[in-house]
Amino acid sequence: MADVKNYGPKRLVVGAHYGTVDFIAQRITAIILAVYTLVLIIGLLVMPSFTYENWKSLFNFHVYALPVGQLLATLAFFALAWHAWIGVRDIWMDYVRNVGVRLLLQVLTILWLVGSVVYFAQILWRI
């Protein structure tokens, strides 16, 4: 009987992602969300009064013809959706053993996240 090593460069690795890409993606999305949170907090602190028009201008400011407020909010929301997908997908993969139930939960998660992104885009890009 052969001696099987489960460590080192000849170990048997199974799975689709091996974790590194997801690890880096979650860190990058977390940085994007942290920076956007700081931008929002600074915007709220310099806001003269908390009115609907001032709140709207926080997301609707332009630099030249570029809608910077909407682009930053969209980037942050996509980062949030991607961050949530990685985290929830890993929870389903780690704790749901039945493959059919796991697939169903992953599909429902994707549908929910895509629906949230579409709803967000409808609201943000109408203002």
- Predicted confidence band of residue 10 (pLDDT cuts 50, 70, 90): low
User: Binding site for a ubiquinone: residue ranges?
Assistant: 95
The answer to whether the beta carbons of residues 81 and 17 sit under 8 Å apart is: no
Interior CA angle at 82 toward 77 and 88, to 5°? 120
Domain ranges of the chain: 21-125
State the Cα–Cα distance between residues 25 and 8, nearest whole angstrom. Answer: 25
CATH class of 21-125: mainly alpha
pTM, rounded to two decimals: 0.81
77-109 pLDDT, tens digit per residue, is: 999 999 999 999 999 999 999 999 999 999 999
Task: Looking at the chain, list the stretches that DSSP marks H as alpha helix, in order from N- to C-terminal side.
Answer: 20-46, 52-59, 68-95, 99-124
User: Binding site: residue ranges?
Assistant: 83, 95
User: Binding site for heme: residue ranges?
Assistant: 83
Residue 105: both structure tokens together = 């939960």
